[in-house]
Structure 1
Amino acid sequence: MNRLLATRIRRRIIIALLCGAVAIGAAVSIGALSGPPADAGTLRSGGLAAATGPGFAGSVGDATDPARDAAPPIAPAPLAGLPLAGSPHASSARPVYALRDHPLFAQHIGLGRVDCELPEWRDDPEGARVFYRAALGCLNAAWEPTLRGAGLPFRPPRLDAPATGDAVRGACPQDGRPASYCESDETIVIPYAAARDVIADSRRGAQLALLAQEYGHHIQQVVGVLRAYTERRTEVGWQTAAGQEQSRRLELQAGCFAGMFFGINHGRGDIDQRTWDEAADRARAVADRPGAPRLHGADHNVWGWWKWGSDKGDTWECNTWYADQENVE
């Protein structure tokens, strides 16, 4: 009887230890899901060691240092929970409505490398349309394998490049901006008359930068970030300080995506040093003006995130939703 009792006691102890181990493992897993993005390193809390998380951290050099082939490759396999490209479920790829914890920012992922061949810029509405169509093909070729490889949906945007803003055919009203993205019909709108001043004296870099910034918003749309942003900004108040901060995070991320395209493809096709320089000049010019709503970011942050994207060529590094507030001012 004593031996039988001892055996039963030992079994109960082993079961209790196993249950405890499972509970600890589950707690760790839940903590990982609710914590910072993968590879984020030290938490950004007062008194702790310096953060090693993703994104622009306050300063970048002015020297050209594009990522080129040092950038990460496209995702070799779908991100966690997303369907395998080419599998029976690949056609059911769905957007993920998240910001900081979006799976596109959970790994180090680069863009497809493209030899972007662009026509000569002609200073007239039809010449502009021809140029933007060709440039749009380059952006599609870079981003499609990235999203599909990651198990996320991809659709090319529409392009509307009329002579004037009055001739825009899309669903969104025009306000005189040189370029905009209409999420209702997934259209990039670039009226020639409105864009002409901001691309003056540029061979092709400013024109490509203008398109690439709005293309960044299209990427946010198809992967689900734009919807999550709209919900978050509505929750905190569209025109409040917190709401405007959400706008800056959105715009700075689109700029980082644009910088990725230029940095990874620097030296390929027609994206030469002069094109990069012209694009960089354009990127510096989109910051908020004094007295205007704070929707795009301060000069140093607008430039910093674009340059950071060019230097790193990595979606993980474009996670503006994780960045400290001072780096999205």
Structure 2
Amino acid sequence: MLLIVALVAVVAAGGVFLFVKLTQGGGEEPTVAEPPVPTSVAPTTVVPTPTKKTTTTAPPKPVQSVSPATYNATHRLYKTGAMRTVNCKQAKTGPGNGAQALAYFKTIKACLDRAWPRQVAAAGGRFRSPGLVVWGGTVNTPCGSGPGRSFYCPTTHTIYMESPSVVSFYKQNPTFGRMVGSFTVAHEYAHSVQWMTGLGEAYEKLRYDATTDGQLLLSRRLELQASCLGNVFLGSNRGSYGITGYAYQMWLYDVNNSGDRPPYPRDHGSTTSHGAWSRAAFASRNPASCNTWSASPARVS
């Protein structure tokens, strides 16, 4: 519900949004399940103009004095404690069109900008708010181009939010659309946290010499961790953000039904794995729940 990441094709009630293949790192959103209770309103596609807030340099990378595998498995982020609430609230207007989606995404990003600095600093990184671009149709970036899903690009330190799929979900089921949009932003923001703290750079080093199957396993560790960290944020603000009652059921449906789906590669994790890491993070509100790098392959299947 972001799920996301860096991430591929979003299966909507009316069709499929094609996958963007990034040239480096991870960072796309996971595949999202259809809304459980669609309304009779047909989904529409909105193509907003991208915002112009971008940066041109990647965040500084912490010094790594151990192997990349050990670095990620024993990272200081897991010892930073539970995330403190920033009393984040949802935008009153949901993502019903391109302009509203931009406003909705900007609101939750402002909350994330307040929530993550303490954790990033305690983990040894230097916090820099990532840029945000909201787009529809196609987008050109150093990390890839073309139609597809939302993703984070380390080169520009920017989150690229694809809005038409979220708008479509919102028109079918407003509560589900809100939860998908909120999770997606939180997931992609978590990718920026991975790169601000050195986890992302270590992933790239590990991936360089890995086999094809090994690269997929590493990608699943990266993506499942991003979903986990995104839900640390949502869990810490669940009261003020209103993830209770029916909204909680829609959040739960999203995280339990997002993940790799045929014919896409096994690079984000199964729906079972995605749900398990997401639920644990939401309950604990602690990055200690998100050490996918030391987990057994079965837990990141």
Same fold per superposition (TM over 0.5):
yes
* Residues 215-237 of structure 1: per-residue CA shift (max 9 Å, x gap): 11111011111111011011113
2:248 to 276, 293, 312: 276
Structure 2 Cα separation of the partners of residues 181 and 236 of structure 1? 22
Equivalent residue of 1:236, what SS? Answer: coil
Matched, 1:205 2:179: yes
Equivalent residue of 1:184, what SS? Answer: coil
Deviation at 1:153, TM superposition (A): 1.1
The higher-RCO structure (CA 8 Å, 6+ apart) is: 2
Aligned CA distance change for structure 1 residues 251 and 269 (closer, same or farther; 3 Å): closer
CA contact (8 A) 2:256 2:271 kept: yes
Q: Which has the higher strand share?
A: 2
Within 5 Å, which residues of 2 pair with 1:217-236? Answer: 217-236=191-210
* Residues 281-321 of structure 1: per-residue CA shift (max 9 Å, x gap): 32234311134211011111011011111111111221000
1:145 to 115, 118, 125: 118
Structure 1 Cα separation of the partners of residues 63 and 255 of structure 2? 28
Deviation at 1:274, TM superposition (A): 3.7
Matched, 1:158 2:143: no
CA contact (8 A) 1:248 1:328 kept: yes
Q: Which amino acid aligns with 2:281?
A: G
Q: Sequence identity, in percent?
A: 27
2:96 to 104, 111, 123: 123
1:300 to 241, 258, 272: 272
| Residue of structure 2 in register with 1:196 after alignment | 167
| Residue of structure 1 in register with 2:73 after alignment | 100
Q: Which has the higher helix share?
A: 1
Equivalent residue of 2:84, what SS? Answer: coil
CA contact (8 A) 1:178 1:198 kept: no
Q: Which amino acid aligns with 2:151?
A: S
Structure 2 Cα separation of the partners of residues 198 and 95 of structure 1? 39
CA contact (8 A) 1:114 1:142 kept: yes
* Residues 252-278 of structure 1: per-residue CA shift (max 9 Å, x gap): 100110111121212124444444333
Q: Which amino acid aligns with 1:95?
A: P
| Residue of structure 2 in register with 1:80 after alignment | none
Q: Which amino acid aligns with 1:228?
A: A
Q: Which amino acid aligns with 2:174?
A: S
* Residues 32-84 of structure 1: per-residue CA shift (max 9 Å, x gap): xxxxxxxxxxxxxxxxxxxxxxxxxxxxxxxxxxxxxxxxxxxxxxxxxxxxx
TM-score by length of 1: 0.65
Deviation at 1:198, TM superposition (A): 4.5
TM-score by length of 2: 0.71
CA contact (8 A) 1:115 1:270 kept: no
Question: What runs of 5+ residues in structure 2 fail to find an aligned partner?
Answer: 1-59, 65-70
Structure 2 Cα separation of the partners of residues 275 and 319 of structure 1? 27
Deviation at 1:171, TM superposition (A): 2.8
Structure 1 Cα separation of the partners of residues 128 and 195 of structure 2? 10
Equivalent residue of 1:174, what SS? Answer: strand
Deviation at 1:144, TM superposition (A): 1.3
Structure 1 Cα separation of the partners of residues 277 and 124 of structure 2? 26
1:317 to 273, 283, 289: 289
| Residue of structure 1 in register with 2:21 after alignment | none
| Residue of structure 1 in register with 2:261 after alignment | 289
Deviation at 1:101, TM superposition (A): 2.0
| Residue of structure 2 in register with 1:252 after alignment | 224
Equivalent residue of 1:267, what SS? Answer: helix
